[in-house]
Amino acid sequence: MNPKTLEPLFNYDHMDRKNGRSNGLTGQDILSVDQFDVDTLDYIFTRSCEMREMVRRVGSTDLLRGNVLTALFYEPSTRTSSSFIAAMERLGGNVIPITQGVQYSSVSKGETLADTVRTLEQYSDVIVLRHPEIGSAKAAADNATIPVINAGDGAGEHPTQALLDLFTIRDELGRLDGLQIAMIGDLRYGRTVHSLTKLLLHYDVSLRFVSPEILRLPLTLMNEVIDAGIDVRETHDVADVIEKADVLYVTRVQKERFSDLAQYEEVKDAHAITPEVMKRAKEDMIVIHPLPRVGEIHYSVDKDPRAAYFRQVQNGMFVRMALLAAVLGKA
């Protein structure tokens, strides 16, 4: 029989999984925080609270049953990969995890990112990608018909981390407007800093940037901050910000982005949050960190109730549950 005479078994209209869906996030790639406005952020945070409630009551649901997520990680990850996996599983979906062994996949045979993505989309409904090059998530998305979520593109952006950081600040302190937020550490290469800074420009906050000279915030981003009319200052010293800050956003110096390791050695211990430093901070402030930490927050700070970084870790799962549900059209 000539197959051309057969009627199609399925209506393939629904296969255009990236375009033309109703909710603003459904079917969309999540590449940069530039995509989010305040309404979308409010929507995600409301849904994240619902996800938290659901997990606390019953642990999991079948909202995304039948959906498959591919976690494609070309750089190391603990929290981002496992929270996406946990998020998908708590919503009843399944995961293809390529998080430990890209070296065992065909990437090691020289396959391009485009071909890898074109292959994985045949099996899945959404791809979560971490890759060392700036712009890689966009390049992957351009080659995919299913949504691609940027889980960190080199020193570029990390939009889902910024969502969970912002959610955590609001959840811990009850508001965003009026806060003074100090970002400390590697502001140059820290992609989480770049994404969170841009999101904060939607609110009436003041920003303090604390870093060694060579790790200052990129000029283009600083110009965005200034153009947004935000009260902003830069300093090399945590002492200048500790008394007034409502949030300390502490970050790791991104060793893997340095071409000259001697330079890394010079700045790696520039800042350390210790119990002594915390004594000078407000009583109702919080310390957060995208983690991993490698010495910039002393372990002895952990028992301080203002240390919110492990609560922040758990929020990552709730926020990613909300985002996955929205992107996959289960809003």
Interface residues with ligand NCD (CB under 6 A)?
79-80, 152, 158, 161, 191-192, 252, 290-291
Q: In this complex, which beta carbon is closest to ligand NCD, that of residue 79 or of residue 236?
A: 79
> Which 3 state secondary structure label does DSSP give 127?
strand
Residue appearing with tokens 């600040």? 169
Smallest gap from Cβ 152 to ligand NCD, in A, equals 5
Q: In this complex, which beta carbon is closest to ligand NCD, that of residue 27 or of residue 309?
A: 309
Q: In this complex, which beta carbon is closest to ligand NCD, that of residue 17 or of residue 188?
A: 188
Calpha distance 120→129 (Å, rounded): 11
Contact present, 196 and 249 (Cβ < 8 Å) = yes
Report in angstroms the alpha-carbon separations of 310 from 57, 165, 192, 246, 305: 20, 12, 16, 18, 11
Smallest gap from Cβ 137 to ligand NCD, in A, equals 13
Which strands form 68-73's sheet, in the order they lie side by side? 94-98, 68-73, 126-131, 148-153
Calpha distance 31→135 (Å, rounded): 9
Smallest gap from Cβ 59 to ligand NCD, in A, equals 24
Calpha distance 170→44 (Å, rounded): 13
> Which 3 state secondary structure label does DSSP give 7?
coil
Q: In this complex, which beta carbon is closest to ligand NCD, that of residue 99 or of residue 161?
A: 161
Q: Give the residue numbers marked as catalytic.
A: 79-80, 109, 130, 158
Smallest gap from Cβ 238 to ligand NCD, in A, equals 18
CA atoms within 13 A on the CB side of 177: 2
Calpha distance 272→65 (Å, rounded): 44
Closest CA to 41 of 163, 174, 161, 128: 163
Q: In this complex, which beta carbon is closest to ligand NCD, that of residue 152 or of residue 159?
A: 152
Smallest gap from Cβ 320 to ligand NCD, in A, equals 11
Contact present, 97 and 81 (Cβ < 8 Å) = yes
Calpha distance 200→180 (Å, rounded): 11
Smallest gap from Cβ 9 to ligand NCD, in A, equals 42
Calpha distance 81→87 (Å, rounded): 10
Q: In this complex, which beta carbon is closest to ligand NCD, that of residue 196 or of residue 242?
A: 196
On the question of a cis peptide bond just before residue 292, with omega within 30 degrees of 0, the verdict is yes
